[in-house]
Structure 1
Amino acid sequence: MIDPIHDKPLADATTRPRRRQVLKATAIAAGAATLPLALGERAVADTLPAQGPAFLHGVASGDPLPDGVVVWTRVTPTPAAVPGSGAGPDTEVRWELATDRGFTTLAVSGTVTTSAGTDHTVKVDARGLRPDTTYWYRFTAGGVTSPAGRTRTAPASDAAVQRLRLGVASCANWEAGYFSAYRHLAARGDLDVFLFLGDYIYEYRTGEFCAAGKVVRPHQPAHEILNLADYRTRHGTYKTDPDLQALHAAIPTIAIWDDHEFANDASSVGAENHTPGTEGDWAARVAAAKQAYFEWMPVRPSIAGTTYRRLRYGKLADLSLLDLRSFRSAQVKVGDGDVDSADRTITGRAQLDWLKSGLSASDTTWRLVGNSVMISPVAFLSLPDYLLRPLAKLLGLPGEGLAVNPDQWDGYTHDRRELLGHLKAQGIRNTVFLTGDIHSAWAADVPDEAATYPASGSVATEFVVTSVTSDNVDDFLKVAPQTVSLVAAGALKAANRHLKWIDLDSHGYGVLDVTPEQVQMDYYILSDRTKREATSTWTRSYRSRSGSQALERVWAPVK
C-alpha cells in the first residue's frame, strides 16, 4: 500500500483469500437505521429530543488501506446545534470497530471530542486493522448509539486480487431529484467501494439550476452558499438523504471534488459562478468550501487542502485520484488559441509530475485514474445549432462558435499532450480514466492523436458516468429522452471516431468490474429521478481487455 501523499510504502498485514460475495440484505441492513424520508435539516430537527445528542446524518467510511480506514459521523448534541449554526457544546464521542455486527469482538476503539469548531463532525483514521477484512463500526455519545456501518480494508499490497468492483457516480443535485441511484448501489451487496467523481453538492440558490423547471426538494440554505456556515449547512442537508446514508453505511467511499463543491467552473483564481464584487474574496470562499468538505466527507484528513492521492488494491489495481480545480489556470474563452499554451495547466506542475511518476512506477495490472472532467478530446462543430445551444448551456459555455469545452482537458491541451505522450513513450498500458462532470454517459478510447485515430491507436480508455440527478440534454430541451439527443450523439460520434457510445439523456450510475483479464463498465439508468422509488435498469456495457488499450461493446453486465 502506498502513502496517499508521498508514495512511501506502508507496512502490510498478512493477506488472505480475497473473493467474497455479500448478501444483498447485508448492504440494505447497514443503512436501515437511517431517518425515513428525510427532507432536509428542518425536517430532521423536528425529530430531535428536547435534550441530549442524536446522530441525524448517518455514518460513513472511506479511503481504505490494508491496515486502516476512515470512519465518520456527525453528532447533534442539542436541538440548536444544527450544521452551520456554530452552536452546541463540546461532546465526547466513543467510536468502535468490530469484526462482528453485534460488536462482541472489538478490533479498535477510542474516544474523541468534537465541537462547533468542526461543526460537530467526527472523523477517525482507525489503524491497526487486518487487510481485506470486513469491519462494523459505530459511535456513541451521551448514551445514544449511532446506526452501525459496514466497511472493509484494502488487500495487502502484494495480494493476488482476482476481482475489484466499484460503484461509480457523480453530479448529485439535491433540488433536481432523489438519490435513488445510491439506494440501488447500496442494495447490490457485491461492491467493494463507492467511487464518487465530483459534484457531491451544488452551490446554487434554490431554483437556479433546474432546467426542467421543477424543484423536487429545495436547497438549504435557500441562497447561494458563500461562507463556511453556508457550506456546512448544505453538506448537512445532503447527508439527511436516506439513500445516501444507506450507501455510505454499506461500503467505504473514495471521493474527489469537482467544481460545484466550490462554484461552477472553478479554477485557482475564480469561477464562472463567483462575482468578487458582490460575493466576496474567492480564496476565502474556497477555504470555507474545503474546510466544510473535509469536515463532512470520509476523506483522510492528512490530505487537507487537496484531494489528489493514490490508493491500491493488491497487485490488481491502483487508483490515482486527481484534484483538477485547486491548481488549474482560468478557463480560456471559446476559440482562444491559449488552450494550447504551455503556461496554462489543469493539474499544476507538482500534481502532473506525481501522476506521471506514479503511472510509470505502478506494478499493478491496471492503472485507474479518478478524473473529474473528460480527458478524451471532443469536437462539437458538427452539431446543428438547435442542439449545439442547449449542449453549450449544459456545459456552461457560449452557444456560438463552440469547438471544444475549455473546462475539460480540451481547454488544457499542453497538459494532456504531456500526459498521453508519457503513457505512449513509457509503454504504460492498461490505464483507465474514470470521469464524471458532464451529466451524460460516454465510453471512449483515448487517442494520442485524435485526427489520425484509429490508425494511430489509443493510449488509454475512458468511462464517463452520467449524473445521479443533475440536468442533462433532454432536461434542458424539455423533450422526451432518447429523441432529438440521438441526433447529437450520432453527429458527435461521426466527428470523433474514438467515441464508442454517448447517452446524453439518462440519469444513473456505473459499476466497474476489474479482473486481471479485463475491466468492464456496466451502465445503469433510473426510471425517473423525481420519484423516490425510481427503478434501475442496465442499459449498456463496454470492456477493455488487458493490453488492448481499446474498448469493445459487451452485451450483458457482469454477474
Structure 2
Amino acid sequence: MFRVEGGATLDFADREPLHPCFPLESIALFNPFKRRTFLQAVVAVAATTTFGCSDDDSTDASDGSPYFPQSLASGDPRPDSVVLWVRVEDKDRAGDNLPLRLEVSPTEDFKTLVLDKKDLSALAEHDHAVKVKVTGLSARTTYYYRFSYEKDGQKHTTRTGRTRTAPAAGDDVPVKFVFASCQDFIGRYYNAWQRLLQLDADLDFVVFLGDYVYETTGDTSFQSGDGGRAVRFSAPEEALPQGTGLTAFLAANSLSNYRDLYKTTRTDRQLQGVHERYPFIIVWDDHEFSDDCWQDVATYEDGKRDETQLTRKLNAEQAFLEYIPLDTVQSGAGAIDVASEPRFPHSRIYRDFEYGKHLKLLVTDYRSYRPDHLIPEDAYPGGVVLDETLLGAALQDQPDAVKQTFQTDTFAYVNIDDAAYANQKQVLQGVYLSQAKAAGLTDAEAAQKAGQWVAGPVALYYVNQVLAAVNKGLVIPPAGKPRGLAYAHMGKAALFNIQGSRYVVVKDTFDLFAAVKFKMTAGKSEDVFGPAQEEWFNQTLTTAQNTWKMVVSSTSLSALIWDFRQQADISDPTLRQRFYFSVDQWDGFPTKKKVMLNALKAGVTNTLFISGDIHASFASVEEGVPTLTAPAITSGSIKSLASLALIGAGYATGAPVYQHAVVEMEKTLQASNPGLRFADADSHGFVLMEVKADETLATFHLIPAGEVAKDYSKRADSELEAKFTAKTFRVKNSDIQPA
C-alpha cells in the first residue's frame, strides 16, 4: 500500500486480480513477420477515431446580414451573466477594427433593452471575433440579443439570438440540457443538430464535449471528400503536410489555419441554428489541437520524431478562445480580452456551473495537463519494463496460478548488453535500423533510436523471433533466465505503431504495468488533471451541496474491454484474451481511474459522468459511479469503421471474428463489461438530460450511421423525424436502468 497525491492510498491487492488462467499464448504473442492479424485490423479502426470536422461553404444571406457569416452564439450561462459572441467580416476593411453594437432584451421585439452597447470594436488581431460578457441579468430568464454593423450609412444586423441564464443558487427547479460531441463535417451533414432544432426542447443549455473542429482537411482514413463539404485553408503553405500521394492531406498549424476550421464549420446552418437558440458550455478534446494529443505534443509520427509543438498549440488555443463563447478568467462586464486569457502551460478552461439546488456541473480538461500514453509509440517490443524484482513485487498478492504463469518461458529475458550476447545485439540493432529507415527515419535518427532501445533487458519471446528469422543459431535459450514484463506482452508488436500503445492493448498485463508505474512515480504517470485542476476538482465535488454532481469529461469513462477469452470459435489463440480498445481515453489510466472512482463512491453522493469522443453510445456503472457517453454528431461510428477495416483486411463477413467484433459488437461489449447497461456502436445523435430532485432521465436520440452522409435540411421534417429513435434511461441510487 502506498499514498498518492490527495491522501488516497492504493494497494496492489485493491487492483482487479489477473485472470488466473489467461493462457500463455494469449499474451499478445504476435509474430511481426506474419500477415496482418485481427488486432492490426481493429487498430486501423482505432486510428480512425481521430475523426474529423470540417465545414460548409454555404451561407444563407437572405436571413441575417452577409457581414456575419458565422451568425452568433452564446455560452457559459450563469444566474446573472452570459457570454455573447459574434464575428463580423468586411472584406473591404480586412485590416481595420470594425465598430459593432450589441442589443440585449427580455423580449424578442427589442422594445425594452437591458443593454445597448454601442462602443464595441471587433479587432483585426482577433479575426474580428468578439466575446462580450453581459452581467446584471436576472436568474433563469430568457434574453434575446443581436449585433449590428454600420457601413456607408447602412445598418447590417445579425439574426436574433436567444439565450437563458442559470437558475439562482438554491432554486428548487428541474434542469434540462443536451450533451454531444465530435462534429466531423467533411462529407457529412449535421442531421443530429437539425433534429434538436425540430424538437424545440425547452433547454437550459447544451454541453459540447470536444472535437468541435477537426484539424485535418481530408484524412482519407476517416474523412470523405464527397458532397462538397470540405475545409480549405486560406494559407495552405502554412499547414503541416501529412501522408503521401492519394492519401496526402493537411493538418492545421498556423493561427490562420486554425481560424479557418472554425470559420468554415460555423457556416453550417444547422449548427448556427442551435447556437442561435441555446447557450453552449464547451470544452476542448484533442482535435481542436491535434489527434490523440497530450499537453503540447502531437502524435502523427507515432514516436518517429519529437512532436512537441508549442507554437502550434498556442495557435490552436487562440483560435478556440476567439471563436468559442466562454469566459476562462471570470472577467467583468464588457468585451473579453482574449489576449489576456491564460494559454498553455497555464491554460484554464476547466470551470464549474451551479444550476439551482439540483445541479453542479464540473467541466474538466483532459488534454492540457495529462502525461503521455503509458506505452510509447516508438517502444521496442522487446524492451522489458518490469524486471524480475519489480514483477515479483507486483505479483505478491496475486493468485498462485497467475504467479506461475509469469514464471514460464514466455516472460524470460536477458541483458542484451552482456558480452555473451554481442552477436545477437548486433543482429537486433541491424534489424532495428532497417525497420526504422523503412519507416522513414534518417540514418542518424535510426542509429540514435537503435542505441536507445536495443539495449539492457530484452524479452526473449520477441527477440528470439527476430533472431530466428535471421539465423536460428542465434536464438537464446530461455531456461534459467530471469522473468519480466515487456512491451510485447502488452500487445506491442512493431515499431512506430499505435497498436499496443494507444489502441488495443492487453488489459491484464497493461493494468499490472500501470499500477507499478503509478506507485513508482507517486501517481504522476497517470496525473490526468494536473495539481491545480485536481485540487479544484476534489474541492468542488466534496463541498457541493447540490443534489447532482455531474462531471463533464471529453473522453469516455465507460470501460471498453474486448473479452475474447471464451470465444472458442476464434481459432487464433493470440486473440482469446482481454483487450482495452482505446487507452487514449480513461482506460489508459486505469489506476488513477480506480482511485478517483473509489473516492467518489465513498465520499460524494449522486456523481454522474457525461462524456464523448469514442463515437458510440454507452450507459454504464463504473466502480459504483454512473457514466453516460454520447454518440458522435457525425464522426464515423465504431461499428461502421470496424466493418470496413475487417473486410479490407481480408476477413469475410461470415467469419467468427467479424461476427463478434462487428455484427454482434454491442453484445460482445456488454458481455465483456459487466457494468455496461446500454451500448449502441452504430448511431449518431445526442443525449437529452432531465435533472430532477430524485432522479435524472437520459434520453439518447439516435440516427443510423448510414444517414449521416445525407443532407436532410432540404427535405420535409417528417423524413428526418422518422429516422430517429429515442431510448430513455433512469439514473438513480448510483445505478442506470431503462426508464
Matched, 1:173 2:184: yes
Q: Which amino acid aligns with 1:168?
A: F
- Give 1:47 shift: 9.4
- Give 1:209 shift: 4.3
Aligned 8 A contact 1:268 1:328 in 2 = yes
SS at match of 1:507: strand
- Give 1:96 shift: 1.3
Corresponding residue of 1:343: 524
Q: Which shows bigger deviation, 69-78 or 266-275?
A: 266-275
Residues 124-523 of structure 1 aligned to structure 2 (within 5 Å)? 124-142=132-150, 143-161=155-173, 163-189=174-200, 190-210=202-222, 214=226, 217-221=229-233, 223-273=250-300, 282-302=309-329, 304=342, 305-333=347-375, 334=500, 335=505, 336=510, 338-340=513-515, 341=518, 342-344=523-525, 345-382=527-564, 402-403=579-580, 405-426=582-603, 428-447=604-623, 458=624, 460-476=625-641, 477-478=643-644, 485-523=662-700
2:577 and 2:212 map into 1 onto residues whose CA distance is: 30
Aligned 8 A contact 2:558 2:618 in 1 = no
SS at match of 2:322: helix
CA deviation string 1:376-426 (max 9, x = no partner)? 3332242899x99xxxxxxxxx99984352211121123223321221332
Matched, 1:92 2:60: no
Corresponding residue of 1:531: 710
Aligned 8 A contact 2:83 2:131 in 1 = yes
Q: Which amino acid aligns with 1:167?
A: V
Corresponding residue of 1:18: none
1:192 and 1:186 map into 2 onto residues whose CA distance is: 14
CA deviation string 1:193-222 (max 9, x = no partner)? 111111111112324343678566222227
Corresponding residue pairs, total: 483
1:540 and 1:42 map into 2 onto residues whose CA distance is: 34
Aligned 8 A contact 2:328 2:348 in 1 = no
Aligned 8 A contact 2:69 2:267 in 1 = yes
Corresponding residue of 2:717: none
Q: Which runs of 5+ in 2 are unaligned?
A: 1-53, 234-248, 330-340, 376-499, 648-652, 713-719
- 1:124 to 1:223, Cα distance in 2 relative to 1, 3 A: same
- 1:185 to 1:54, Cα distance in 2 relative to 1, 3 A: same
Q: Which amino acid aligns with 1:498?
A: G
1:209 and 1:400 map into 2 onto residues whose CA distance is: 27
- Give 1:273 shift: 2.8
- Give 1:360 shift: 0.6
Q: Which amino acid aligns with 2:593?
A: R
2:217 and 2:68 map into 1 onto residues whose CA distance is: 27
- Give 1:116 shift: 1.8
Aligned 8 A contact 1:176 1:471 in 2 = no
Aligned 8 A contact 2:558 2:628 in 1 = no
- 1:470 to 1:41, Cα distance in 2 relative to 1, 3 A: closer
Q: TM-score with structure 2 length normalisation?
A: 0.61
- 1:384 to 1:179, Cα distance in 2 relative to 1, 3 A: farther
Q: Which has the higher contact order (CA 8 A, sep 6+)?
A: 2
- 1:354 to 1:58, Cα distance in 2 relative to 1, 3 A: same
2:256 and 2:691 map into 1 onto residues whose CA distance is: 40
Q: TM-score with structure 1 length normalisation?
A: 0.80
- 1:220 to 1:327, Cα distance in 2 relative to 1, 3 A: same
SS at match of 2:250: coil
Q: Which amino acid aligns with 2:514?
A: V
Q: Which runs of 5+ in 1 are unaligned?
A: 1-38, 82-86, 389-397, 448-457, 555-559
Corresponding residue of 2:48: none
SS at match of 1:151: strand
SS at match of 2:230: coil
1:48 and 1:59 map into 2 onto residues whose CA distance is: 13
- Give 1:122 shift: 1.1
- 1:176 to 1:347, Cα distance in 2 relative to 1, 3 A: farther
Matched, 1:104 2:111: yes
- 1:129 to 1:502, Cα distance in 2 relative to 1, 3 A: same
Aligned 8 A contact 1:100 1:136 in 2 = yes
Which protein has the bigger helix share?
A: 2
1:98 and 1:416 map into 2 onto residues whose CA distance is: 45
SS at match of 1:324: coil
- Give 1:541 shift: 1.8
2:565 and 2:357 map into 1 onto residues whose CA distance is: 44
